[in-house]
Amino acid sequence: MNLSPSVSVQQTDTGLEYISVDADLCSAKIFLQGAQLTEFTPKGKKPLIWVSQDEDYQVGKGVRGGIPICWPWFGMSTNDGWPQHGFARTMLWRAEEVVENDDKIVVSFSLPMAQVNKEYWPHQSSLKVVFTLSDHLHIELINTNTGAAAFELTQALHTYFPTPEIENTTVDGLQGSNYIEFGEGPYTQNDIVSFARETDMVYQNTPLVQTINTPDGIIEVGRENSSSCVLWNPWIEKSKRLSNFRDDEYHTMLCLEAANVMDDKVTLQPGASHSLVHTVRWL
């Protein structure tokens, strides 16, 4: 892989390699483990991505924050003992290409399917993710069925967003959607969402753009080829049970995840592809 002048490969003290971007347009970090972006900051603006201050970046363990890639299932598997949110977020991906020009940097990764446990995923497929970095963030997660039989999957780009104060943060653009929360529902979202308790909502038939209104500004979150999304904040009691998460950090984060879950799951026929697209920017 050829690197551009603004891109380098670096390593944490724990041995995890990441691609570091320091360009005129933005700065970013993307780990080879999980192809997980943990930093994206447009130049002259505040960071758009949150990571816990207690994150210790261990081999084989998902990072608490950034944008974990949940694949090929979201949440708990129906099979006992299988990893939550799939296996892609803890596997080592292959960095394929870096392309830089005046208005963007494109970094692409692929998941080495030969290394996938066939018990978890017996299907013939390919999985790629392409990060386009400029004054905003554009991510494309591309599934292709390379076999002779159809298969189904669920997936999410589990994005952690920063806020200085969750109690004064709202999410607009979910009105009219149906949601399931803690296994109950569906309910209809009638109002702008505010936060005063643990929130774990899985939305269906959702508009393609939402805004997160924080005391630091407005974040626009967009999706393509997705009619579902997930909104999450652990609040007080669950924060105490989470690993690599300080008890009070629920004050400073929320997740709004581009997804293909529940009725929005992906069914791929032989030879077909599907791209889950996620865009993030400061307004």
State the catalytic residue, choosing from 158, 249, 251, 278.
158
Residue 38 has pLDDT above 80, yes or no: yes
Three-state secondary-structure class, residue 115: helix
Domains of the chain as residue ranges with CATH: 7-282 (2.70.98.10)
| DSSP output for 161-228 | EE-S-GGG-EEES-TT-EEEETTEEEEE--S-EE-SS-EEEEEES--SEEEEEETTEEEEEEEES--E
Q: Is residue 158 flagged as an active site residue?
A: yes
Q: What pTM does this model have?
A: 0.97
Residue 186 has pLDDT above 80, yes or no: yes
State the catalytic residue, choosing from 39, 100, 249, 257.
257
Question: Which amino acids are annotated as binding site for substrate, given as ranges?
Answer: 64, 84, 89
Mean pLDDT computed over every residue of the chain: 96
What pLDDT is stored for residue 206 in this prediction?
Answer: 97
Q: Is residue 251 flagged as an active site residue?
A: no
DSSP 25: S
What pLDDT is stored for residue 5 in this prediction?
Answer: 82
The pLDDT confidence band at residue 112, using thresholds 50, 70 and 90, is very high
For residue range 129-175, what is the model confidence (pLDDT) as tens digits? 999 999 999 999 999 999 999 999 999 999 999 999 999 999 999 99
Question: Which amino acids are annotated as binding site, given as ranges?
Answer: 64, 84, 89
For residue range 200-250, what is the model confidence (pLDDT) as tens digits? 999 999 999 999 999 999 999 999 999 999 999 999 999 999 999 999 999
Specify the amino acid at residue 91: M
